[in-house]
Structure 1
Amino acid sequence: MLKIKYVTGLVLLFSLMFMPKGFSQSLRSSVNTGVEKYQQKNYSGAEANFKKGLEKVPNNFQANFNLGDSYYKQKRYNKAIKAYEQALLTGKNNILRSKVYHNIGNVLLQSKKIKESIGAYKKSLELNPGDMSTKYNLSYALNLLKHNKSRNKNNKNKNKNKNKDKNNKNNKNQQNNKKQQNKQNQNKNNQQKQKNQKQNQQPQNKNERRKNNKQSMKNPQQGNKMTKAEANRILAALRHDELKLAKQLRRKKGKPIKTAKDW
């Protein structure tokens, strides 16, 4: 991975010669002590000395620039930007201002503000086109932006496919639930239909029994129907019996007896 090159600007003490005589010695002492603490990685101590120098000369370029550096090392990026912006107001030439924009670009890049850092590096190169450190960091920021766009696109497609699979799964579940519900409704309808048929069948059977009973009462059971020949034989037998009975009576009384019926 590319590593950001950082410009510290902690060697600008020669500029103090332009300070008013009443403040030069005390300001120089505060800034020099701050530089020593910074080099010892005592960034909070360096911050205190740079602030002490700014109490004497608020618009001093070196003190503001170095204060921004100490904030950067402490990852207090918002305060670093404000200190660098103050240094920009008093930068006397393009080289000094280009260094400020370079460091502003670094702060923005560390804050994940890649597009803004690219803008700061470009401003630095406008003021000092030959600065290789700034060109290096600008290239790094551009590649990082390209990589992030590609990664975001892949993540977006991945999430899209994931959501699509999730929607398909939900649709499938909904279809299965709907199918199951339809099956349950069909079973319920069939059960109700069978129940209704059973209820309708019971009164019908009852009515049929009543009808049959009524018919039986109206038309008594006649048994097997008698044929004409059978009827004649029965009549002949009855006549024979009656004649036989009459002969017996005549023998007993001595006179004929008239039969009841003339066959």
Structure 2
Amino acid sequence: MKQIITLLIICFSSISFSQEKDKVQELAIKRANDYVYEGNNLIEEDFVLAEMEYRKAISEESSSVAGTYNLANAYIKNGNAPEALFRLEQAAKAATSKNEKHKAFHNMGNVLMQNEKCKEAVEAYKNALRNNPIDDETRYNLSVAKACAEEQKQQEDQNKDDQNDENQEDKDNKEDQENKDQEGDNEEDQNDQGEDEQKEDDKNDDDGKPEDDKKDEGKEGEDKKEKPQQPKPQPGQLSPQQIKNLLEAMNNQEQKVQEKMNAEKQKGVIIKTDKDW
């Protein structure tokens, strides 16, 4: 009997505790909704005060989808996209009905589209349609987001191609410059080699003779300059050597005649002679 009474007491206590917990939760939800209501009334006049009311609602009831969702919409109107997306994600996770999830994902897609994140917006609208397949507005927004995402992809591919072409052009220009530099180095080496060969040629004469031979030839040239060259006989004239020989012959002849005349004188006879030239 005592055991039965004990079990009845425990059951009664559990039921009372559960009922008390439900009352506390109901009061928290009621206060959270009141804060949301106040926020909605202030949002058009004072964003800061409205934000405070929405935050009170979330603090009072962390699972308050209305507080999180309305705070996200307040950030959208204020142009704070990062905070809006953060709160919409919270609302989508906390939502217990498909209608609430649909609204959260739909607005998430709108924020992403406004910030030109078309690929991410496509996924958000798809999630919205999974929770409400018959919403025409979401379906239309999805088609727009798909077209935008495709255009962005094509633009990205074009930018990659342009970047690759630019990189290839830079590479070609670099190779051309390296080739020019190499040609310049080779030309400089050839010039240096030519200067060395010119210096070596300066040491040697045109026939490749060493410096000592050039000195000897130079000396011979000086000797030739010191000795006057014999004039060449003109046609019809006797050369100097021929004149010299003729004079010697005349002297010899004259000597002979003189000797003969001396002999004739001794005999007393004078002999007349003719010049042979």
Bucket of the pairwise TM-score, normalised by the shorter protein: 0.5 to 0.7
Q: Give the drift of 1:156.
A: 3.3
Residue 86 of structure 1 pairs with residue 100 of structure 2: no
What residue number does 1:10 align with? none
Between 233-242 and 167-176, report the one with greater CA deviation.
167-176
Q: Which amino acid aligns with 2:249?
A: L
Q: Which amino acid aligns with 1:207?
A: D
Query: Where in structure 2 are the equivalents of 1:1-263 lying within 5 Å?
Result: 20-23=25-28, 25-38=30-43, 40=44, 42-163=46-167, 193-194=197-198, 196-201=200-205, 203=211, 205-211=214-220, 226=241, 231=245, 234-235=248-249, 237-241=251-255, 243-244=257-258, 247-248=261-262
Q: In 2, Cα distance between the equivalents of 1:63 and 1:151?
A: 40
Tell me the secondary structure at the aligned position of residue 204 of structure 2: helix
Change (3 A) 1:117 1:237: same
- 5+ residue gaps, structure 1, are 1-17, 253-263
What value does the CA root-mean-square deviation take over the aligned residues? Answer: 4.1
Kept in 2, the 8 Å contact 1:64–1:83? The answer is: yes
- 5+ residue gaps, structure 2, are 1-22, 231-238, 267-277
Kept in 2, the 8 Å contact 1:81–1:104? The answer is: yes
Q: Which amino acid aligns with 1:107?
A: V
Q: Which amino acid aligns with 1:237?
A: N
User: What TM-score does the superposition give when structure 2 sets the normalisation length?
Assistant: 0.63
Q: Give the drift of 1:216.
A: 10
Kept in 2, the 8 Å contact 1:44–1:70? The answer is: no
Between 134-143 and 242-251, report the one with greater CA deviation.
242-251
Deviation sequence 1:142-201 (CA, Å, 0-9, x none): 111111122223333444444555556666666666667766666666666555434423
Between 154-163 and 143-152, report the one with greater CA deviation.
154-163
Q: Give the drift of 1:26.
A: 3.3
Change (3 A) 1:222 1:140: closer
Q: In 2, Cα distance between the equivalents of 1:126 and 1:56?
A: 31
Tell me the secondary structure at the aligned position of residue 130 of structure 1: coil
Q: In 2, Cα distance between the equivalents of 1:212 and 1:78?
A: 102
Tell me the secondary structure at the aligned position of residue 67 of structure 1: helix
Q: Give the drift of 1:72.
A: 2.6
- Percent identity between matched residues is 22
Number of equivalences? 231
